[in-house]
Amino acid sequence: MSGIDKMKNKAEELSGKGKESVGETTGDRDLQAEGKADQASGNLKQAGEKVKDVFK
């Protein structure tokens, strides 16, 4: 299950990067902020998965 979670988290992070890029290109600050938030969320979840792996 951990591998699937890691892939989902990475996908969320990459999706956030895409949103941020589109927001920058179009001048949409809300979309840009949403992209940054998605990236941060994905990174935080990835860190949690790494901690879980340490204790396995």
For residue 21, what are the domain limits?
2-54
- pLDDT of amino acid 1: 53
- Which of 25, 51, 21 lies closest to 9 in space, CA to CA? 51
> For residue 28, what are its two tokens?
């949409």
Positions of E strands within the chain: none
pLDDT mean over 4-14: 91
- Percent of the chain exceeding pLDDT 90 equals 70
Q: What is the number of domains present in the chain?
A: 1
Average predicted confidence (pLDDT) for the chain = 91
pTM for the complete prediction? Answer: 0.82
Using one digit for the tens of pLDDT, what is the confidence trace for 24-44? 999 999 999 999 999 999 999
